[in-house]
């Protein structure tokens, strides 16, 4: 495959880039002009680097045409963190930019579009998330993901391109965004300070990052895989349990500040997906259980502290 990975400097995009390279694919990466490329250290010399913002993606048309990607992995998205999910100013890049990117990539030879969707497209659902549920997104982030996904599905049909949309729940692992729950808790515990938390009653489905990118690559490599799929571990655990496991790995005597942060009324309390459709289509199953994944993540944070100290 000749691949273009957008959002390649991010957590998911950087791991996907490495996975594709390790599997012998030809890779170009698209990152914002101001992006820090620390997650791509060691592989930058093996990729073609394109710096461009989705809000002005037309400026990168010529470079994308030179690459001539047959497969696009669209991971780039603004407004991922909870405090930015309702920012209207992100819509230009996320929606208009994503559609313009498709037009440019199609003209350059793209025949397969792998888009990273989100559980936010479903909105707040009480049960297990299945692909046949009627989506009811309740954030601009979720509405934009759903909108872009549906528009691109139709555009792919009209142009006879293969369309895959993977609704990702939550990933974790080394090099994750420090604002996310698991890395933020680890950093607090390693600093011997008490993390302030909600009550931890939420039940979330976390997928280890290396398992996530294996699933994405498999979906791209299987020509019969088309349509919408959930991307998750298929297992959900209470946040309180996840945090307690981390604490016990660091030091069981450390205190945890459950209940010190008021629960956001808009928070998702149940995040659990059925992954049967993706498993049946690709043969993929997650390899990393929660205990092993948390320990690998903790070990990476410890190694960073050792190098910096």
Q: CA-to-CA distance for 134 and 121, rounded, in angstroms?
A: 9
Q: Are 33 and 76 in contact (CB under 8 A)?
A: no
Q: Are 187 and 301 in contact (CB under 8 A)?
A: yes
pLDDT classification of 309: cutoffs 50, 70, 90? low
Report DSSP letters for the chain, one per residue.
Answer: -EEEEETTTSHHHHHHHHHHHHTT-EEEEEE-TT---GGGTTTGGGSEEEE--GGGGGGGHHHHHHH--SEEEE---S--SGGGTT-GGGHIIIIIIHHHHHHHHHHTT--EEEEEEEGGGT-S-SS-B-TTSPP---SHHHHHHHHHHHHHHHHHHHHT-EEEEEEE--EE-TT--TTSHHHHHHHHHHTT-PPB------EE--EEHHHHHHHHHHHHH-TT--EEEEES-S--EEHHHHHHHHHHHH-TTS--BTTSSPPPTT--SEE-B--HHHHHHH-------HHHHHHHHHHHHHHHHHHH-
CATH homologous superfamily of 2-171+208-231 equals: NAD(P)-binding Rossmann-like Domain (3.40.50.720)
Residue-wise pLDDT for 63-95, tens only, equals 999 999 999 999 999 877 777 777 887 888 889
**Boundaries of every domain in the chain:** 2-171+208-231, 173-205+234-308
Q: What pLDDT, on a 0 to 100 scale, did the predictor assign at position 264?
A: 78
- The domain made up of 173-205+234-308 is a member of CATH 3.90.25.10: yes
Q: What pLDDT, on a 0 to 100 scale, did the predictor assign at position 299?
A: 98
Q: What pLDDT, on a 0 to 100 scale, did the predictor assign at position 126?
A: 81
Residue-wise pLDDT for 82-130, tens only, equals 777 778 878 888 899 999 999 999 999 999 999 999 999 999 888 999 9
Taking residue 36's Cβ as centre, other Cβ atoms within 10 Å add up to: 9
What the block records as the tokens of 150 is: 């549906």
If you search the block for the tokens 């205190």, which residue do you land on? 255
If you search the block for the tokens 């407004």, which residue do you land on? 79
Residue-wise pLDDT for 10-40, tens only, equals 999 999 999 999 999 999 999 999 999 999 9
Cβ-proximal residues to 64 (8 Å cutoff; 6+ apart), any chain: 4, 28, 30, 50, 104, 105, 108
Q: CA-to-CA distance for 222 and 164, rounded, in angstroms?
A: 11
**Global pTM value:** 0.95
Percent of the chain with pLDDT over 90: 88
Q: What pLDDT, on a 0 to 100 scale, did the predictor assign at position 267?
A: 72
Angle at the Cα of 169 from the Cα atoms of 243 and 98, rounded to 5 degrees: 135
Based on its alpha-carbon atoms, the radius of gyration of the chain, rounded to whole angstroms, reads 19
């Amino acid at each position: 495959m000749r691949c273009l990975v957008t959002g390649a400097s991010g957590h998911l995009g950087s791991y996907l880039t490495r996975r594709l390279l390790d599997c012998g694919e030809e890779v170009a990466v698209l990152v914002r002009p101001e992006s820090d490329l620390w997650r791509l250290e060691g592989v930058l010399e093996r990729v073609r680097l394109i710096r461009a913002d989705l809000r002005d993606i037309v400026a990168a048309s010529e470079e994308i045409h030179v690459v001539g990607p047959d497969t696009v992995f669209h991971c780039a998205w603004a407004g991922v963190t909870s405090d930015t999910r309702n920012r209207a100013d992100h819509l230009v890049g996320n929606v208009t930019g994503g559609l313009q990117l498709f037009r440019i990539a199609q003209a350059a030879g793209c025949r397969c579009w792998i888009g990273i969707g989100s559980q936010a497209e479903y909105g707040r659902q009480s049960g297990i998330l299945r692909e046949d549920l009627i989506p009811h997104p309740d954030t601009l982030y979720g509405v934009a993901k759903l909108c872009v996904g549906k528009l691109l599905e139709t555009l792919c049909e009209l142009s006879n391109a293969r369309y895959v949309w993977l609704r990702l729940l939550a990933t974790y692992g080394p090099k994750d965004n420090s604002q996310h729950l698991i890395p933020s808790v680890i950093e607090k515990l390693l600093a011997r300070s008490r993390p302030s938390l909600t009550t931890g009653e939420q039940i979330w489905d976390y997928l280890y990052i290396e398992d996530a990118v294996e699933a994405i690559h498999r979906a791209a490599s299987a020509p019969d895989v088309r349509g919408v799929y959930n991307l998750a571990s298929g297992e959900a655990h209470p946040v309180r349990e996840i945090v307690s496991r981390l604490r016990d790995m660091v030091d069981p005597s450390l205190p945890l500040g459950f209940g010190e942060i008021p629960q956001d009324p808009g928070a998702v309390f149940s995040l659990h997906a059925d992954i049967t459709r993706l498993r049946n289509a690709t043969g993929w199953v997650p390899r990393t259980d929660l205990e092993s994944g948390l320990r690998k993540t903790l070990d990476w944070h410890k190694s960073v502290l050792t190098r910096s100290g």
